Homo-oligomer: A and B are copies of this chain.
Amino acid sequence: MSLVGIIILILSLLGLVVAYFYSRQVLAVAKYPKDASEKEKSKLSEIHQAILEGSMAFLAQEYKYMALFTIFFAIFIGLLLNNPSHGFNDGIYTSVAFIAGCSISVLSGFIGMKIATAGNVRTTASAKTSLAAAFKTALHSGAVMGFGLVGLSSLGLYLVYLLTAKLVPAGVDSSTIMEIVAGFGLGGSAIALFARVGGGIYTKAADVGADLVGKVEKGIPEDDPRNPAVIADNVGDNVGDVAGMGADLFGSSAESTCAALVIGAIAFPGNLGAGLYPILITALGIPVSLIAMFFIKVKKEEDVGSVLKRLLIISTFLGAVAVYFASIWLIPAQYELGGQVFTGEGVYICYLSGLLAGLFIGLITEYFTSHKYKPVKDLSKSCETGAATNIIFGMALGFKSSGWTILAIAVSVFIPFYIGGMYGVAISALGMLGTLVITLTIDAYGPVSDNAGGIAQMAGLDSEIRDRTDVLDAAGNTTAAIGKGLAIGSAILTSLALFSAFLTRAEDISINNPSMLNFSLDNINLLDPFVLGGLFLGSTLPFLFSAMTMKSVGKAAFDMIEEVRRQMKEKPGIMAGTDKPDYGRCVSISTKAALREMILPGVLIIGSPLAIGFLFGIKALAGVLMGSLLVSAGLAVTQTNAGGAWDNAKKYIEKGFLGGKGSDAHKAAVIGDTVGDPFKDTSGPSLNILMKLSAILSLVFVPFFAKYGGILVKFLE
C-alpha cells in the first residue's frame, strides 16, 4: 500500500473515531432538563418518541424503495457495461462500486438522522442549564454528521479503488479502473435523488399543510401540539435538512472526487500518488476541522453566530495550508492533458479558486437572504402593499441574486479551465467542498436546534428554554443560507467536472477504439446541429423538473390539509386540548406522498441522459448536459434565495417591524413564505441532483454509449 493510501486510511478512520467520540458526548447529556417534573418528562418523552418514530418510519419506507432501486439498477449497470474485450466484466465491478456508494450514503444518512433525533431533545434539556451547554450539544450532534460522513466517504472511495485495482486482471489501464470507481459516485448521487427530492417533498408537504390549516385557518401558533401535522413537520426538518442536505453534499464530494480521479488517471498515467490526490484532499478536511473545533467557545448570546462563522473561516484557512503541501508533494511540476501543458502550481491555484468562490457565494447568499441587509428589508417593505408586490419583489430579488451568484461561478469556471484544464475544474470543485466537514456540521446543527425549540414549545417548557433555542436557531439560519449557496455552487462545479470527465473519457475510448467510436473533444462545437439541438433540449429539463417537484408539493400539501381538517372536524376535542391528534397518520401521508411523487422526476433525471446518449450519441448528450446545467444553475439559485428571502422577510416582520405579527403586511409575508417553501426546500435544491446525477450517469455509461450510442444518428446518416 502506498504512503498516500496509508495517510488516507488513517485520516478516514480518524474521522470515524471523532464522530464516535462526539456521539458519545451527545448521548451522555441527560434527556430531560434538570428539575423537570414527571409530567414534563413524560410529555417530552412522548414528543421525542413521536419525532424519532416518524423519522425512522420514513427512513424504513424509503429504504425499501432504495433497496429495490439499488438492486435493479445494479443489475442494469452490470448488463449494460459488460465489455468482453477487457477480459473481465466491467459492469459487475461498476455495479459493486455503485452498491458501495449507495450503502455508504445510506449509512451516513442513517447516522445523521439517529444523532439528530437523539440530539434534539438533549439540546432542549441542556438549554435549561445554559446557552453554552445547549450550543455544545447541538453542535456536537452536527459534528457527528460532518466527521462521520466525510470519513466514510473517503474511506469508501479508497477501499473501492484499492479492491478494484487488486481484482482487475493485470494490464487494465488506470483510467478504466477509475471509471469503475466512478460507480461509487453514481451510487451516492442516486441515493441523493431519494433524499433530496423525496425528502424535499416530504418536508414541504408537512410544512405547507401544517401552516395552511394551523396558522391560517385555525390561528394557532407554529409547533402547537394540537396540530396533527406538527410531528410530521418536525420530522420533515430532519428528513430534509439532515438526510437530504447530507446526501446531496456526500454526492457532490464523491462525484467531484470521482471526476478528478478519472481525469487524473489520463493526466498522470502511472503516477499513483497524483492519482490519489483527490481522495487525500477530501480526507485532509478531517484533521483540519478537528483543529478548528478546538478553537471555538461560546460564552454569550452574541457569540453563537460569530463562532459558527469563525469555524468556517479557520477551517478554510487551515485547509488551504494543508492542501498546499499535499499539492507540492504529489502533483508533478508539469502535466499534459488534451494536447495542452499545465503546471502543478496551477492545480493548487484551482483548489484555492474553488475554496474562495465557495466563500464568496456564501457571502452573496447571506447578503440577499438575511434581514440584516437591504434586499430583504426592501422585500419586507413591499409586503405593505400586499402579497402581490411581495411576490413580485421576491422574484426580482431571486433573479438578481442568481445573476450575481452565477457571475461568481462564471469566474470560478473560467479560472480553473484556463489554468488547469479539465483537471483544474475537478480540483476547483473539490476546493469548493474544502470546508465540507464544517459545512455539514453546521447544516445538521440547524435542524437539531430547530427541533429543540419545537420540542420545548410542544412540551410547554419554560419560555427561557425556548428563548435560548431560538438564539441557536437564528444563528443556524444564517449559516444554513451559506451552506445552501455552497451546495448549489459545488453542484455546478461538480457537474462541470463530471461533464469534463465524461468527454475526456469518451475521447480516450475513441482513441483506443476508433472503430467503435469516432469522437474527439474538438467535435463539441456550438454550431453542430446535435450539440445545439442538445443545448435547447437540455434547457427544458430543469423547467420540467421544477414543474414536477413544485406541483408534487402542492398535491401532497393538499392531502395533508384534508387530513388535518378531517381530524379537527371529527375530533373537536383536539382544539380544546382534551383529545389527542393522530400524528402518525400525518407522518404516513407525507411519507407516502414523498415516495409516490418522486417517481416521475426520478424517471426524468435518470431516463433523459440514458435515452439521449443511446438515441443521439455523445455529442447530443454533451449539449443536453450543458444546456441543463446552465439553466439549472440559475434557476436553483433563484428559487433557493427567493425562498430564503421570503422566509426572513416574514421573520423580520414578526420581530415587530412594519406592523408586526397579525398586520396586513404580515399576512402578505406569510403568503410569500409559503410560496418560498417548495422553492427553497424542494424544487431549488432538487436541481442540484438533476445537474449532478445526469452528468455522472453520462460518465459511468460512456462505455455503453461508445458501443451502442447514437442509433438514430446512424440511421439518419
List residues of chain A with CB under 8 Å of any chain B CB. Answer: 208, 212, 216, 338, 382, 385-389, 391-393, 395-400, 402-404, 406-407, 409-411, 413-414, 417-418, 422, 496, 500, 503, 521-522, 524-527, 529-533, 535-537, 539-544, 546-548, 550-551, 553-554, 557-558, 561, 622-623, 626-627, 630-631, 633-634, 638, 670-671, 674-675, 678, 716
Contact in complex: A529, B626 (CB < 8 Å): no
Residues of chain B lying within 8 A (CB to CB) of residue A212: 385-386, 388-389
* Pairs of residues from A and B, 3 with the lowest C-beta to C-beta distance, nearest first: A414-B533, A388-B674, A410-B536
Give min CB distance, A140 to chain B, whole Å. 37
Decide: A389 near B526, CB < 8 A? Known: A403-B540, A533-B414, A626-B535.
no
Q: How far is the CB of A709 from chain B (nearest CB, A)?
A: 17
Residues of chain B lying within 8 A (CB to CB) of residue A388: 208, 212, 670-671, 674-675
A411–B533 Cα distance when bound, in Å, is: 7
| Shortest beta-carbon distance from A633 to chain B in Å | 7
How many protomers of this protein does the assembly include? Answer: 2
Q: Which residues of B contact A407 (CB under 8 A)?
A: 537, 540
Q: How far is the CA of A561 from the CA of B385 in the complex (A)?
A: 9
> Which residues of chain B are near A547, meaning CB under 8 Å?
396-400, 403
Contact B539 A671 (CB under 8 A): no
Instruction: Please indicate the chain B residues that have their CB under 8 angstroms from the CB of A627 in the complex.
Output: 630
Q: Give Cα distance in the complex from A417 to B526, angstroms.
A: 12
Residues of B contacting A500 with CB < 8 Å?
Answer: 527
Residues on B with beta carbons closer than 8 Å to the beta carbon of A533: 410-411, 413-414, 417-418
Residues of B within 8 A of A536 (CB): 406, 409-410, 413-414, 630, 633
Main secondary structure of the interface of A (DSSP, over half): helix
Complex CA gap A385/B674 in Å reads 12
Residues A392 and B540 in contact, CB atoms below 8 Å apart: no
| Smallest Cβ-Cβ distance to A670: which chain B residue | B388
Contacts of A548 in B (CB 8 A): 396, 400
Are B539 and A413 touching (Cβ within 8 A)? no
Residues of B within 8 A of A525 (CB): 521-522, 524-526
A502: shortest Cβ distance to chain B, in Å? 11
Taken together as a complex, chains A and B put the C-alpha atoms of A212 and B389 apart, in Å, by 10
Write out the residue numbers on chain B whose beta carbons fall within 8 Å of the beta carbon of A678.
392
CB-CB nearest in chain B for A405? B540
> Would A531 and B539 count as touching, CB distance under 8 A?
no
Is the CB–CB distance between B389 and A387 below 8 Å?
Answer: no
Distance A374 CA – B558 CA, assembled complex (angstroms): 18
Q: Verify A675–B537 contact, CB threshold 8 A.
A: no
In whole Å, how far is A60's beta carbon from the nearest beta carbon of chain B? Answer: 30
Of the candidates A388, A529, A544, the one having the most CB atoms from chain B within 10 angstroms of its own CB is A388
A499 CB to nearest chain B CB (Å)? 9
Q: Is the CB of B410 within 8 A of A537?
A: yes
B391 pairs with A543, CB closer than 8 A: no
Bound CA–CA A388/B631 (angstroms): 25
Bound-complex Cα distance A411 to B532 (A): 10
Verify B638–A540 contact, CB threshold 8 A.
no
Cα A593 to Cα B396 with chains together (Å): 18
Whether the Cβ atoms of A393 and B527 lie closer than 8 Å is: no
User: Which of B406, B553, B716 is in CB contact (< 8 Å) with A540?
Assistant: B406
CB distance from A390 to the nearest CB of B (A): 9
How far, in whole Å, are A208 and B388 apart by their CA atoms in the complex? 10
CA distance A379 to B581 in the complex (A): 31
Distance, CA A386 to CA B678, complexed state (A): 16
A553 touches B399 (CB 8 A): no
- Chain B residue nearest to A637 (CB atoms) is B543
With a 10 A CB-CB cut-off, give which of A387, A533, A561 has the most chain B CB atoms: A387
Instruction: Determine the distance from Cα of A398 to Cα of B543 in the docked complex, in whole angstroms.
Output: 9
A404: chain B residues at CB < 8 Å are 540, 544
Which residues of chain B have C-beta atoms less than 8 A from A410's C-beta?
Answer: 533, 536-537, 539-540
Closest beta carbon of chain B to A3's beta carbon, Å: 34
Shortest CB–CB separation between residue A630 and chain B, in angstroms? 5
Beyond A418-B529, A522-B525, A527-B503, is A550–B413 a contact (Cβ under 8 Å)? no
- Tell me the complex Cα distance, A372–B56, Å: 45
User: Which residues of the partner chain B approach A550 to less than 8 Å between Cβ atoms?
Assistant: 392-393, 395-396, 399
CB of A400 to closest CB in B, whole Å:
4
Q: Tell me which residues across on chain B come within 8 A of A496, comparing CB atoms.
A: 532
A208 contact set on B, CB distance < 8 A: 388
Distance between A533 CB and nearest chain B CB, rounded to angstroms: 3
The reply to whether A393 and B554 form a contact with Cβ atoms under 8 Å apart is yes
Contact in complex: A402, B540 (CB < 8 Å):
yes
Within the complex, the shortest CB–CB distance from A442 to chain B, in Å, comes to 27
> Which of the listed residues A524, A670, A716 has the most CB atoms from chain B within 10 Å of its own CB?
A524
Report the Cα distance A626→B548, complex, angstroms.
Answer: 26
7 A–B contacts from the bound complex (CB under 8 Å): A212-B389, A388-B674, A392-B675, A413-B532, A414-B536, A522-B522, A526-B526
Q: How far is the CA of A397 from the CA of B674 in the complex (A)?
A: 17
Q: Are B675 and A526 closer than 8 Å at their CB atoms?
A: no
Q: Are B417 and A532 in contact (CB under 8 A)?
A: yes
Q: Say how far A251's CB is from chain B's closest CB, in angstroms.
A: 21
**Distance (Å) between the CB of A269 and the closest chain B CB?**
20
| Extra pairs beyond A212-B388, A671-B671 (12, CB < 8 Å) | A212-B385, A392-B675, A396-B550, A400-B543, A400-B548, A400-B551, A406-B536, A407-B540, A410-B537, A410-B540, A418-B529, A525-B525
